[in-house]
Amino acid sequence: MIFTDQIGHKFELNSVPKRIISIVPSQTELLYDLGLDEKVVGITKFCIHPKEWYGNKNRVGGTKNINFSKIAELKPDLIIANKEENTKEQVEELQKIYPVYTSDISNLEESLAMINDIGILTNTKEKSISITEKIQYEFNKLTEQNFETKRVLYLIWKNPYMSINQNRFINDMMQRCGFQNVISSSVDYPEISEDQISSLNPDLILLSSEPYPFKENHIKALQILSPKSKVILVDGEYFSWYGSRLLGSPNYFISLLNEIT
């Protein structure tokens, strides 16, 4: 059967995959929740969920530094990749040899489509539909909340400070919380100077737990730059992981919104 992924790449699967490699942490967790433990033979060093896989599964390098020889040893019949997480050059090299499904996700709808695609590819369609329906149900509950709109700066990195523009998946999650992204840029992850932070004067500054591990000690510096802003730490996985982690995102967002109002 011929499949087309989210970047328009076509590949063929002649049978249900039995040796799957995931090179995307968010989608690795999804494979676990689809019950594919015995079929997943390789993950990256950044695939920290679930813990038992992180400790026991074969590692095939990092998301942007794939170990091709290790992948060859594992003889995969399906590789799960992502346009943003993995490099174009490495994905194209993998496509020459293996069936590769590459996702391209900037909003909730594309994430739900990816989850259902993976369900079809791995013969777990019933479970994938159950997951997407529950995610949609939980986000509908979030929509019913009546929270005041706030101007928000979301920071993902330090030295230099970096944020996200309005095209990224994180921005879609922010909007669903009633957060207005103060960053308008053609660059996906723009650098932000200290002077810019001061002049933006957002209602909220959210410090993500990943990819930079912001901690409590970073709050003070931002508070000095923008005294009128409320600066808080947030769990970046709920804002940026687009697999089954989304099952818990709405409840996390509701708790967060209750905390800041």
pLDDT, tens digit, 9 for 90 and up, residues 124-183 = 999 999 999 999 999 999 999 888 899 999 999 999 999 999 999 999 999 999 999 999
Long-range interactions of 160-163: CB distance < 8 A, separation 24+? 160/191, 160/192, 160/193, 161/191, 161/192, 161/193, 161/194, 161/197, 162/189, 162/190, 162/191, 162/192, 163/189, 163/190, 163/192
Residue range 237-251: mean pLDDT, rounded: 98
Closest CA to 48 of 172, 170, 209: 209
CATH T-level assignment (fold) for domain 150-260: Rossmann fold (3.40.50)
What is the rounded CA–CA span in Å between residue 138 and residue 170? 17
CATH superfamily of 2-139: Nitrogenase molybdenum iron protein domain (3.40.50.1980)
- Inter-helix orientation angle 25-33/125-143, to 10°: 110
Per-residue pLDDT at 261 exceeds 90: no
2-139 shares its CATH topology with 150-260: yes
- Residue-range domain boundaries for the chain: 2-139, 150-260
**pTM of the predicted protein model:** 0.96
SS3 state at 139: helix
Residue range 240-253: mean pLDDT, rounded: 98
What is the rounded CA–CA span in Å between residue 122 and residue 101? 11
Backbone angles phi, psi at 206, to 5 degrees: -100, 125
SS3 state at 253: helix
In the 3-class helix/strand/coil scheme, how is 46-59 assigned residue by residue? CCCCCHHHHHHCEE
Structure tokens at 44: 């990256």
